[in-house]
Amino acid sequence: MDESVLKHVGQRIRLYRKSHHMSTEQLARMINKSKATVSKYESGQITVDVVTLFDIAQALEIAPYQLMDYPMPRKKPSAPAKSPFDSSDQLYLYYLFRHNVYSSVLKLGPMDENGSPAATLFYDVDDSRNPEECSCIYTGRMFMHETVFSVVLNNYHNPVETALLNFTIPMRKSPVLVGMLSGLGSSTFLPCARKILIAREPLTVDEGLLEQMSIRSDTFREMKRDNMLYIHLD
């Protein structure tokens, strides 16, 4: 065992023993060990077996993990997966609701230590050039992988409400990705999911876009068969 681990455990034993105003001799008696053995535990000279560790924790009126809170060495994070939208820090989302097209803007911020960028969703905007003028704001993070990416968001004004964006990255690079937005309906507040498009540039609303946003007819057969909603990439 690494000496630094033994010393850390020993320091914790000494810390909690002294906080209880307990002498080495008193602790030794409580765990049926010699004073010399307890001193060696505290100095990290010898290993503390599991049973004795639990006995010490019980004598000191603490949980065993409080003696073993040694910081594990952090693994070097692997290189984050590359965004399908390259270095774009603003993305545009579109969905169809009751034959009307709605758009939102997703802004990406600094990455955390794991390579996940901060994300702010300006939901239901009238003008993508002024996304702050929206019906609702969600904040969270984007998580990227080789074949999928997701965005986990919370309503800024009501953190209880969570929204989840899921997209599958196709083999061929595409300027528009098809995915799913799931969360709570804004009017009914019932769990719901909708098909959604995301793009690096604003899209022109035309017949082609309307068809792409619409749920395919065979999707309903799949739902009836599997009791599950699938969002197809085409």
Q: Is there a single domain that holds both residue 215 and residue 126?
A: yes
Residue 184: is it exposed, middle or buried by C-beta count within 10 angstroms (0-12/13-18/19+)? middle
Confirm whether 146 is domain-assigned: yes
pLDDT at 32: 95
Residue 228 corresponds to which tokens in the numbers above?
A: 């599950």
Q: Please report the pLDDT score of residue 117 as a whole number.
A: 85
Q: Is residue 7 one of the residues assigned to a domain?
A: yes
| Residue 175, domain CATH | 2.40.128
Can you give the length of the chain in residues?
Answer: 234
Q: Is 81 a domain residue?
A: no
Are 98 and 60 in a shared domain? no
Let me know whether 35 and 99 are in one domain: no
* 183 is a domain residue: yes
Express each pLDDT in 31-70 by its tens digit.
Answer: 999 999 999 999 999 999 999 999 999 999 888 878 887 7
Q: Are residues 98 and 62 in the same domain?
A: no
- E-only strand ranges, 37-160: 90-97, 100-111, 117-125, 134-144, 148-155
> Is the distance from CB of 93 to CB of 99 less than 8 angstroms?
no
Answer with the residue of higher pLDDT: 3 or 195. 195
Same domain for 136 and 44, yes or no, is no
Is the pLDDT score of 182 beyond 60?
A: yes
**What's the pLDDT score for residue 72?**
57
Per-residue confidence (pLDDT) for residue 24, from 0 to 100 = 95
DSSP letter assigned to residue 61:
T
Tell whether 213 is covered by a domain. Answer: yes
Strand pairing partners for 163?
A: 153
**Same-domain pairing of 23 and 100:** no
Task: For residue 196, give the nearest of 98, 102, 93, 119 by alpha carbon.
Answer: 93
Q: What pLDDT was estimated at residue 135?
A: 86
In the chain, pLDDT over 70 holds for what percent of residues?
Answer: 91
pLDDT in tens, 135-179: 888 888 899 887 888 999 988 777 788 999 999 888 777 888 889
Note the pLDDT tens digit of each residue in 184-197: 877 777 888 888 99
One domain, residues 34 and 132: no
**Are 94 and 25 members of one domain?**
no
Which pLDDT belongs to residue 86? 67
Same structural domain, 214 and 113: yes
**Residue 118's domain spans which residues?**
90-226
What is the token pair recorded at 230?
């699938």
100 exposure class (CB count in 10 Å sphere: 0-12, 13-18, 19+): exposed
Residues 154 and 194 in one domain: yes
Residue 117 lies in a domain: yes
What's the number of domains the chain is made of?
2
Tokens standing for residue 160? 């209880």
Tokens of 132: 């702050």
Q: How far apart are CA 124 and CA 106, in angstroms?
A: 11
How much is the average pLDDT of 116-123? Answer: 87
User: Is residue 233 in some structural domain?
Assistant: no
Same domain, 121 and 214: yes
Measured at the CA of 133, the angle between CA 128 and CA 135, to 5 degrees, comes to 105
Point out the domain boundary residue: 52, 67, 82: 67
Task: Report the CATH number that the domain containing residue 47 is assigned in CATH.
Answer: 1.10.260.40
Decide if 138 contacts 163 (C-beta within 8 A).
Answer: yes
- Residue 80: inside a domain: no
Burial category of 67 from C-beta neighbours within 10 Å (exposed 0-12, middle 13-18, buried 19 and up): buried
Residues 45, 116 within the same domain: no
